[in-house]
Chain A
Amino acid sequence: MNEKILLIVVGAVGLVVISLTFSILLMKSWRQGRITRQRRKRRAIEPGLLRYLGSREGALERFIPMPVEGSLRAAVVELLLEHTSILKGEAMERITSALEQLGMVREEIGRLRSGSAWRRAAAAERLGLARSPLAVEPLAKRLEDPDEEVRLRAGRALGQIRGTLAVRPLIAALSEPSRWSTMRVAEILSNMGSEAEEELIRSYPDLAPKARVAALDILGRLRRPGSASFIEQRLRDEDPDVRARAAHALGQIGDPTAYRSLLEAMQDPEWPVRAMAAKALGRLRVPDSAPALALRLRDRQWWVRSNSAQALIELGETGTRTLLDVLDSPDIYARHQAVLMLQQTGLVDRYVDQLCRADEEATLARRVVSRIAEMGRVDRLEELSRVHRFESVRETLAGILRKAAPASGARA
């Protein structure tokens, strides 16, 4: 009896294994066949299509034999859609016109009403690529779609066609819980320009806290100086995330007049705000911000110290001088951060190069190198004392390191 059952099981599993093998082979064979056919068709039409895209006039039928139907038509559509990511201007208009002529736009508009959310999303995506104005109205209707993916795709497509209908629904979508959705909405809105800016500022008070942060991020990415004063006011918001993002956005916009507000933000009780403010000040490159940045090299938080040091480097000559002054700071964190920044930007190597010159620069170099050696931050200096290309520099450096050795033990 047991053997009978087992025999049945063997037969069943064997059958499954054989069918599985055949399914895999058939699937591959079908796919390969399809690809080969598509390639053949593409090879036949691609030269004509490329000539069509490359020329300024002439309808599609002048370049490829019309009417195209079935799989040949599908190949033409796919080829045209592929080129949407690399072409713009007149060539893009020719793609749109060809896709309309081939009936692709009409077909995809029909698919926007499909029962399958995935099909609706795919249709919206393809309509966005086609950039046909005919699709604006149907896509706008999809902004109310029950499926989030379809809404986002429709919004993105509208953004690609430069329709402004999507701005409000997209701003509302900033409140979706997923950061992924927020990112995608932010990307779409960032490409919409002034319409998005005005609407973001107008609807800002009604937005949820998370959406406000995203809105500030988008305003920063839009880089429109007109919104700087609105963003500056957000530096006094109750929510530290909002304040931090506002500081970041001001850095992105790069309006130097915002630097005083950012200096105030450097005193913020929350470290992410101070870190973002320091980063933004580096982007604004206002030399007057150097003392405030130097002070923040003593901050308790690593990110604030790191961003401040980086910002000082961004300030150029003034920032470098400030970093050198920090080498005499009583604060060990500030000193170490300054040394790290001087090393990472290659300035320490430059000072070592100047050690044996007979001018004022050599005096400064000797002072800086000795100070770093006394602090015990000697990893790079020791390496240079072994590998520097000039023997005189190696000897001088070795002398400085020997002299500083006892001091470094006591002071680092």
Chain B
Amino acid sequence: MQGLKLLLTDLVIDFNYFVLFYFLVLNTIYLLLFLVSLREIWYFVRRTFFSDYQQIMQSEMTWPISVLVPAHNEEKTIVQTVRSLQMVNFGEFEVIVVNDGSTDGTLERVVEAFEMRRIDHVYRRSIPTAPVRGTYASLEHPNLLIVDKEKGGKSDALNAGINVSRFPLFCSVDADSIIEDNALLRVVKPFMEHPEETVAVGGIVRIVNGCEVREGRVNKVALPRSGLAVFQVVEYLRAFLTGRVGWSVLRSLLIISGAFGLYRRREVIEIGGYERSTDTEDLELVVRLHEHMRRKRRPYRIVFVPDPVCWTEAPATLKVLQRQRNRWHRGLLQSLWRHKTMLFNPRYGILGLVAMPYFFLFEMLGPFVEVVGYAAVLLSWFLGILNPGFFLLFLAVAILYGVFLSLAAILLEEISFRRYSSWEDLFRLLLFGVLENFGYRQMLALFKVRSFYDFLRGSRKWGKMDRTGFPERKRKEPVIERERARVVEEK
């Protein structure tokens, strides 16, 4: 018994040292990413001081875009999403809604709202997909197309959309999302700046809960009332403004959010389109693009631009949040396992030597280490080797560092885009940036640990996302705008 206790004590002490080292390395990486992001965002804000988007819109040299909207049971939001897409500022684009075997009124809603009619579409089936039941077009909206197909999952729907799309670039947009008017102009810019090399560009995803939406447009930005959603706002700011900006600068961006990403069609077809056997098709696609381009030794760029905004609905309940995070983490596990040969592989440069190991050791195993760490504390206490002073100080450092990272993301938001303009929203962001370290983060870690189990079990549950739809309100025209309009009219 004494021997076992000694062994356990040694193990726990060793593990504690490991956690200390792990914590130091992880936070150093976070700090470096923040610094890289700070510099990049500062530079980006200066660079985009002049908005030349009018030129992109008017130029015939701008590549046209096919916007793909995979939809499965999205009857609450689909019409508004399509309407907002129809209104975006861009020269030449088409919107392709792919109805992926919905069992609600998704198809009927769009057909009715946009006076769609069935057509016998002609296209090349470059990527195999589940059978297409029909395509619909509209005389009133010539750039809108619906593909109605049997259920095959989001990847399959996107592949069907790619098959039907006509243009060299395609943009994937979630059916529960709204992209801002200039989002396409902003996201296409890297393709125009480096036309030969750019293969994919991601934009920032923000949370629409709490915002005022009018006719498919986000009219007023505000934080949601629900605490759970505010936690997610802080989390998204951290993930996008520090994480993705930083990895993009290092040319190692591993994920472009499925809610909003722009890709060159040719390369995506070359790799066989979206992979259907993973739970996070967006991550898998980007990793495969990296792998493909490196293998072919073709110069390429996969970048993140923090400016083009896509608004999406965040889970409003713990149950839905759990499903979402479980799927995300399961997808990460699947992709990292599938591409394990890229790990520590110098052939993939920084991607193979830094980004992949980071995602493997910290993003994938991090929650596991965290949860085991909590267990180790209990065990240490049980074994009588817990140094309460040291433990509390370490906990304080960990929490303060977590708070620092959240505040750093809020700082980045404040020096750049400042979407949340009211004092109340800022105070709430700061408050939730602190509070998330007391329960929310630990809860997410547990969700992710649970996903290990589901991954090993081979579970492929997508999980139902309950939609509430976008809240709508009317707006008054400001007096000064009317006065200005009058002067212009008189001229």
B394 located at the interface, meaning its Cβ lies under 8 Å from any Cβ of chain A in the complex: yes
The proximity string for A residues 4-39 relative to B, scoring 1 for CB distances below 8 Å and 0 otherwise, is 001101100110110011011101100110000000
Task: Check B166–A306 contact: CB distance below 8 A.
Answer: yes
> Is B411 positioned at the interface, with any CB of A under 8 Å from its CB?
yes
Q: Are A13 and B397 in contact (CB under 8 A)?
A: yes
Taking a contact as CB atoms under 8 Å apart, the answer to whether B119 and A344 are in contact is yes
B1 sits at the interface (CB 8 A): no
The answer to whether A13 and B400 touch across the interface, beta carbons within 8 angstroms, is yes
- A251-283 vs B, Cβ < 8 Å mask (1 yes, 0 no): 000000000000000000000000000000000
Any B CB within 8 A of the CB of A76: no
A3-B393, A20-B404, A248-B60 known; 11 new pairs, CB 8 Å cut-off, are: A13-B401, A21-B407, A24-B410, A32-B423, A53-B487, A86-B484, A118-B46, A178-B195, A183-B61, A183-B192, A380-B120
The smallest C-beta distance from B107 to any residue of chain A, in angstroms, reads 13
List which B26-51 residues lie within 8 A (CB) of chain A: 46, 49-50
Q: Mark A376-394, 1 if CB is under 8 A from B, else 0.
A: 0111101100000000000
With A10-B397, A179-B193 known to touch, is A24 a contact of B411 (CB < 8 Å)?
yes
Residues of A within 8 Å of B408, CB to CB, are: 20
Given that A14-B400, A178-B194, A180-B192 are known contacts, is A343 also in contact with B120, CB under 8 Å in the complex?
Answer: yes
Q: Is the pair B423, A178 in contact by a Cβ cutoff of 8 Å?
A: no
Contact check, B491 vs A178: say whether CB atoms are below 8 A apart.
Answer: no
Judged by a CB distance under 8 angstroms, whether A171 is at the interface is no
Chain A window 352-388, contacts with chain B (Cβ cutoff 8 Å), 1 for yes, 0 for no? 0000000000000000000000000111101100000
- Count of chain B residues with a beta carbon within 8 Å of a chain A beta carbon: 59
A-B contact pairs, 26 of them (CB 8 A): A6-B397, A10-B397, A14-B396, A24-B407, A28-B426, A46-B483, A54-B491, A87-B491, A125-B50, A178-B192, A178-B195, A179-B192, A186-B59, A214-B61, A217-B61, A248-B60, A302-B122, A302-B124, A303-B166, A340-B121, A344-B137, A379-B120, A380-B117, A380-B119, A382-B118, A383-B117
Q: Which B-chain residue is minimally distant from A92 (CB atoms)?
A: B491
B52 within 8 A of A: yes
**Is A115 part of the binding interface, using a Cβ–Cβ cutoff of 8 Å?**
no
A219 within 8 A of B: no
With a cutoff of 8 Å between Cβ atoms, the chain A residues found around residue B58 in the complex are 187
Distance in Å from the Cβ of B127 to the closest Cβ of chain A? 15
Q: Which residue of B lies closest to A23 (CB)?
A: B411
Q: Work out how many contacts link A and B, with CB atoms closer than 8 A.
A: 145
Task: Determine how close the nearest CB of chain B comes to the CB of A368; give it in whole angstroms.
Answer: 14
Q: Chain A: residues with CB nearer than 8 A to chain B?
A: 2-3, 6-7, 9-10, 13-14, 16-17, 20-21, 23-25, 27-28, 31-32, 46-47, 50, 53-54, 86-89, 91, 118, 121-122, 125, 153, 178-180, 182-184, 186-187, 214, 217, 220-221, 248, 302-303, 305-306, 333, 336-337, 339-340, 343-346, 349, 377-380, 382-383
Q: How far is the CA of A54 from the CA of B491 in the complex (A)?
A: 8
Per CB-CB distance, the 10 closest pairs between chain A and chain B, nearest first, are: A377-B120, A6-B393, A180-B192, A13-B400, A179-B195, A379-B118, A343-B119, A180-B193, A383-B118, A20-B407
Do B426 and A10 touch across chains, with their CB atoms under 8 A apart? no
Interface string of B421-443 (1 = CB under 8 A from A): 00100100010000000000000
User: CA of A118 to CA of B137 in the docked complex: distance in angstroms?
Assistant: 47
Interface mask (B314-346 → A, CB under 8 Å = 1, otherwise 0):
000000000000000000000000000000000
Q: Which chain B positions have C-beta within 8 A of A46?
A: 480, 483
- The residue of chain A having its C-beta at the shortest distance from the C-beta of B394 within the complex is A6
Q: How far is the CA of A382 from the CA of B117 in the complex (A)?
A: 11
Instruction: Note all chain A residues with C-beta closer than 8 A to B418.
Output: 31
Write out the residue numbers on chain B whose beta carbons fall within 8 Å of the beta carbon of A53.
487
B403: nearest residue on chain A (CB-CB)?
A17
B387 contacts across to A, CB distance below 8 A: 3
Interfacial chain A residues near B390, Cβ < 8 Å: 2-3, 6
A residues in contact with B400, CB < 8 Å: 10, 13-14, 17
B430 in contact with A21 (CB, 8 Å):
yes
Q: How far is the CB of B198 from chain A (nearest CB, A)?
A: 10
State how many angstroms separate the Cβ of A45 from the closest Cβ of chain B: 12
State A67–B52 Cα separation when bound (angstroms).
Answer: 34
Q: Given A10-B400, A343-B137, A183 and B55 touching (CB < 8 A)?
A: yes
Q: Which residues of A contact B411 (CB under 8 A)?
A: 20, 23-24
A187: contacting residue among B59, B194, B414, B487, CB under 8 A:
B59
A27 pairs with B120, CB closer than 8 A:
no
Q: Compute how far the CA of A392 lies from the CA of B343 in the bound complex, rounded to whole angstroms.
A: 68
Q: Known interface pairs A53-B487, A54-B487. Does A17 touch B46 (Cβ–Cβ under 8 Å)? A: no
- Set of chain A residues within 8 Å of B480, measured between Cβ atoms: 46
Most buried by B among A214, A343, A349: A343
